[in-house]
């Protein structure tokens, strides 16, 4: 069974607020603690973590951990650490959403007997409670809110990419444009997965307001479809 706890799904809800960087002790250097280990921070690491935090709207401590985790990916691929950190972030979000989609799908599958369906339903209930949402109806609204945030993020990326094309055609500019395009494709897939998750949640729900909210959300998709064509 996939791991879908409160701490991991927080990456999907995009709730982090940026804070002052890394609690540095002096100037551009200092020490941070990640996973119970202490690390000395140099200027290169600090700037890289800031770039990741800015690109992904993460708290800088979260960005620092992601930047640290991406070091081996960068060595293996030859890509910049910042690029590997962004790729790792979106891959993790997709894996989490896929796990949630599969769990919901299995909880609704007719091919299972009652005991198996009940087990998956219990897993769904546990996931719901772990997200600070008391019931599936509120969880559905949280998923819809997550879809809205993704649409806003895609729109912002489209604007940044247009600006990047106009500003310059340097090698760095081309790499920035490439990672923006990767982010856009990843966000579109994450939006699709959340849409499927909302479908299964709504299918399980008997609350009329959930259906009405989904219908209201669908009315905004014409604008979203325009973004997909850019």
pLDDT digits (tens, 9 = 90+) for 61-72: 888 889 999 999
From the list 147, 160, 153, 141, the residue with the least C-alpha distance to 193 is 147
148 CB burial (10 A radius; 0-12, 13-18, 19+): middle
> For position 93, what pLDDT does the model report?
92
Q: In this structure, what DSSP letter does residue 23 have?
A: G
Question: Has residue 170 got a pLDDT over 80?
Answer: no
CA angle 49–40–67, rounded 5-degree value:
25
pTM score above 0.75: yes
| Stretch 107-117: mean pLDDT | 68
CA angle 148–151–154, rounded 5-degree value:
150
> For position 71, what pLDDT does the model report?
94
Task: Read off the tokens for 68.
Answer: 């640290």
- Percent of the chain whose predicted confidence (pLDDT) is above 70: 67
Judge contact between 87 and 183, C-beta under 8 A: no
pLDDT band at 226 (very low <50, low <70, confident <90, very high): low
Whether 134 is covered by a domain: the verdict is yes
Domain enclosing residue 224, as ranges: 6-228
Whether 224 is covered by a domain: the verdict is yes
Whether 196 is covered by a domain: the verdict is yes
64 CB burial (10 A radius; 0-12, 13-18, 19+): buried
In sequence order, what are the residues at sequence separation of 6 or more whose Cβ sits closer than 8 angstroms to the Cβ of residue 90?
Answer: 182, 183, 186, 187, 190
> For position 183, what pLDDT does the model report?
95
In the predicted model, what is the mean pLDDT of the chain?
76
Which residue's structure tokens are 């799908």?
Answer: 105
> For position 187, what pLDDT does the model report?
94
From the list 47, 23, 45, 18, the residue with the least C-alpha distance to 33 is 23
Whether 1 is covered by a domain: the verdict is no
Whether 31 is covered by a domain: the verdict is yes
Whether 26 is covered by a domain: the verdict is yes
pLDDT band at 73 (very low <50, low <70, confident <90, very high): very high
What is the domain count for the chain?
1
């Amino acid at each position: 069974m996939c791991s879908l706890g409160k701490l991991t799904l927080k990456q999907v809800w995009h709730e982090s607020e940026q804070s002052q960087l890394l609690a540095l002790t002096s100037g551009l250097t200092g020490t941070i603690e990640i996973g119970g280990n202490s690390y000395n921070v140099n200027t290169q690491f600090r700037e890289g973590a800031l770039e990741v935090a800015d690109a992904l709207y993460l708290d800088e401590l979260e960005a620092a951990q992601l930047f640290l985790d991406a070091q081996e990916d960068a060595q293996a691929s030859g890509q910049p650490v910042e690029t590997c950190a962004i790729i790792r972030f979106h891959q993790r979000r997709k894996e989490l959403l896929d796990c949630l989609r599969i769990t919901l799908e299995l909880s609704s599958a007719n091919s299972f007997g009652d005991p198996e369906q009940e087990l998956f339903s219990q897993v769904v209930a546990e996931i719901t409670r772990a997200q600070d949402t008391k019931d599936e109806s509120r969880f559905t609204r949280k998923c819809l809110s997550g879809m809205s945030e993704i649409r806003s993020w895609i729109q912002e990326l489209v604007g940044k990419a247009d600006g990047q094309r106009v500003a310059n055609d340097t090698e760095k500019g081309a790499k920035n444009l490439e990672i923006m395009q990767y982010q856009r494709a990843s966000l579109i897939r994450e939006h699709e997965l959340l849409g499927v998750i909302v479908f299964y949640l709504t299918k399980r729900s008997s609350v009329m307001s959930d259906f009405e909210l989904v219908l209201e959300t669908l009315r905004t998709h014409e604008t979203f479809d325009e973004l997909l064509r850019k």
